[in-house]
Amino acid sequence: MPLPRHFLPSCLACLLALSGCGTTNNPRPGDSGQLVATKEPVSRPPALAVRAAAAKPTPFVDEEAMRVVYFAFGEAMIDSESADILRQNAQKLKEDPQLVVTLVGHTDNLGSAAYNLAVADKRIEAVSDRLRSLGVPRNQIRRLPVGSEQSSKQSCDSEACRRKMRRVELVYERR
């Protein structure tokens, strides 16, 4: 007796479906039914070796004087000493594109908060412009005008003390 035409495709479909059931992932007795990752040796370098190789020191980490530019009262002019400091910092930034510098602008504790914030921003702009003129890409420079927020918390009555407050700090980090 001849088989119907639809019988052969139906049998093939059933065989395929049943063959997929032959490779079940049954848990072993006592297991919670969750799949457990097997522990196989992984050939990775130790984490410390990777961090040590990737973590280059930031420029002038032990030389704070090379990361600070000072300003006169109410001014945003860069003097020759500060220009030299910025030239050296620009060189480090150009040598390492993974470095990013944040320019943190401070003022002394004289004047209103709004005035000090504006002066801090002008000083940051002057430092940023100088770094850019020395070839530092814009994407390596960030800005953070602080003004007198931190300065007003300090007790400072002398001009020498206030002179140290009027600065832009160059704070480095890696991307």
CATH number of the domain at 123, please.
3.30.1330.60
- Residue 73 in any domain: the answer is yes
Select from 169, 171, 174 the least CA-distant residue to 68: 169
- Identify whether 44 is part of a domain: no
Whether 13 is in a domain gets the answer no
Report whether 53 contacts 93 (CB < 8 A). no
pLDDT in tens, 60-104: 988 999 999 999 999 999 999 999 999 999 999 999 999 999 999
Q: What percent of the chain has pLDDT over 70?
A: 66
Can you name the residues that pair with 70 across neighbouring β-strands? 167
pLDDT at residue 160 tops 70: yes
What is the residue type of 102? Answer: T
Report if residue 58 sits inside a domain.
no
Question: pLDDT digits over 125-158, tens only?
Answer: 999 999 999 999 999 999 999 988 775 566 788 9
Helix (H) or strand (E) holding 141: strand 141-147
Residue type, 23: T
CA atoms of 127 and 120, how far apart (whole Å): 11
Total of domains in the chain: 1
Residue 158 lies in a domain: yes
In angstroms, the CA 94 to CA 99 distance is: 9
Domain span including residue 87: 63-174
Distance CA 70, CA 16 (A): 79
CA 134 from centre of chain: 23
Domain presence at residue 97: yes
Question: What is the pLDDT, as a whole number, of residue 6?
Answer: 53
- Rounded Cα distance between 17 and 114, Å, is 75
142 inside domain: yes
The two beta strands, 99-106 and 141-147, are parallel
pTM of the model: 0.67
Say if 132 falls within a structural domain. Answer: yes
